[in-house]
Structure 1
Amino acid sequence: MNINQELSRVKTHYSNLPRSFFGFLPLYIGVETVLGITILNKCSGAYGILALFTGHPLNVFQWVSYLWSVFTLIIYSQGLFQVHTPSLLTYSQIFVVFSFDTFLTCVFTMIFSSQWFTETGSGMSDGSGVDEYGQGASETYEYTFTILITVVALVSRMYFNFILAAFNQELFLHPKYMVDFDDVEQDLKNKNKIVQWWIKSKKSCYNLARHILT
């Protein structure tokens, strides 16, 4: 399939993703903002790894969470440096990883929220009954505020995902960013195993992103 045919196919499937950030800013500013905020958030995972050197015990979940944060930090950082000269392979990888990260965030948020509400509800049932009205009002406010913050965080995360999807889709639309896989395969022959794996993972993400976005 040549470039013109590929471009025509993508335009046919052009979706209703955002065409700007918050309705008036260019998408690349949105991408910079999204990646910048996410990188700052993921730095906590890199910081958590330092617990290994302090002797602080880590459970399996913490290990997985911190290592995933470090991995995604590397993925997102490369995109932040390339936002003005984007690579379709790189941003396909970012889009796929960010989407999976969003899914994990939603799942763990629901799990932790459920546990928190269960524990809080259990604590309420153990109350002494003193000043029940004031306590009930305070707990209602706490519940409402927690739910509001959780919903805003999840909605923001999903919107960020749509921004990355829209940016990635525009790269697919522009012939300038089309990938010549013959050159990619030729270049792979001169790379070490780690780099080969890294580029192959980008190719897999490219195929998945193209399937989703076009």
Structure 2
Amino acid sequence: MISSRSSCRLRLPRPRSFLGFMSLQTGTELVSLALLFNKATGIYGLLTLFTGFQMSILQFTAYFISIAVIAVLAFCLPHIRKGTPFQNLLLAWVYAVDTIVSGLYTTAFATGWYMQLKEMQATVASGAPEEEEFQMVEPRGETTTPVRDDGIDTAFSMVLIIGFTLIRIYFSLVIMAYARAVILRFVDERVPESDEDDESGSAPNPFAEGAPLGEGLEGKIGRYMISVGKSYWLGGRKEDEEWAKDVHSKFRSSRR
């Protein structure tokens, strides 16, 4: 009983809507289209190779990943409205992994930029003239020393990076929640429940061997994707109800 409650507390958030007033399906479509336009820059990045532009391995791999994400989006986008479990589950995984990879690339680029900035500052400081030569003469004859705002720029850049990363995480949770809803709806309509599933509180796996979606390559890939975080993807209504009751009881106790 204690373990079940602790698992409910540590579960991933499951948004019920997108931005509070749009459906998860609409949110998934908008987020996917935004990602498609964002990754389209990878095509132009690879085209610059034909112009003789030199790029690092980090840049090349980032552009190559963008092309791969575009291919997956082209495969999955038509199935958002159709509510196809495999394509929506694949889209959720790709977006989540791309969020992590993009965060790592952003961190790497930001670190490189910061180190380069520090190196430039050290070079200027080592070869700079005396402090008096940096003084600026204003019209009234007063002298002032220019104030460096590199620290402010760096802090502002870090705030932007963290902000965009949090937005990407929220978008990822929206797509995952919609994929979960699609899977559970398919299970309710097409997969018969078993006694074992009723006792565990989780829905049957539609990608299991012998299940409607368990055949072929998609079935194997689907089983692997479902196996990671199975309690999230197939967590039934019992788990949702227990979590809601737990949150409601905490809310009531906090108001006393």
Pick the TM interval, shorter chain. Answer: 0.7 to 0.9
Q: What's the CA shift for 1:59? A: 4.1
Is 1:143 matched with 2:140? no
- TM-score (ref. length: structure 1): 0.75
Is 1:208 matched with 2:244? no
Q: What are the superposed Cα offsets for residues 80-122 of structure 1, whole Å, 9 maximum, x if unpaired?
A: 2222112111111111122111111122222222222222223
Is 1:50 matched with 2:47? yes
- Residue in 1 that maps onto 2:30: 33
| Contact 1:19 1:27 (8 Å CA) reproduced | yes
- Residue in 2 that maps onto 1:164: 175
Higher-Rg structure is 2
Distance 1:134 1:33, change over 3 A: farther
In structure 2, how many angstroms separate the alpha carbons of the residues matched to 1:52 and 1:199? Answer: 38
CA RMSD of aligned residues (A): 3.0
% identity of equivalent residues: 19
Distance 1:94 1:144, change over 3 A: same
- State the structure with bigger RCO (CA 8 A, min sep 6), 1 or 2: 1
- Residue in 1 that maps onto 2:4: none
- Residue in 2 that maps onto 1:192: none
In structure 1, how many angstroms separate the alpha carbons of the residues matched to 2:57 and 2:103? Answer: 20
In structure 2, how many angstroms separate the alpha carbons of the residues matched to 1:16 and 1:58? Answer: 39
Q: What's the CA shift for 1:64? A: 2.2
In structure 1, how many angstroms separate the alpha carbons of the residues matched to 2:229 and 2:14? Answer: 14
Letter in 1 for 2:146: G
In structure 2, how many angstroms separate the alpha carbons of the residues matched to 1:115 and 1:66? Answer: 18
- Residue in 2 that maps onto 1:134: 146
Letter in 1 for 2:174: I
Q: What are the superposed Cα offsets for residues 111-166 of structure 1, whole Å, 9 maximum, x if unpaired?
A: 22222222222323324352595342x32331232122111111111111111111
Aligned counterparts, 1:54-69, within 5 A: 54-69=51-66
Of the three residues 104, 107, 112, the one matched with 1:107 is: 104
SS at match of 1:134: coil
In structure 2, how many angstroms separate the alpha carbons of the residues matched to 1:57 and 1:205? Answer: 37
| Contact 1:30 1:163 (8 Å CA) reproduced | yes
> Which piece of structure 1 moves more, 202-211 or 44-53?
202-211
- Residue in 2 that maps onto 1:9: none
Q: What's the CA shift for 1:34? A: 0.9
- Residue in 1 that maps onto 2:250: none
Letter in 2 for 1:159: Y
In structure 1, how many angstroms separate the alpha carbons of the residues matched to 2:12 and 2:120? Answer: 48
Task: Name the count of aligned residue pairs.
Answer: 193
SS at match of 1:90: helix
> Which piece of structure 1 moves more, 25-34 or 204-213?
204-213
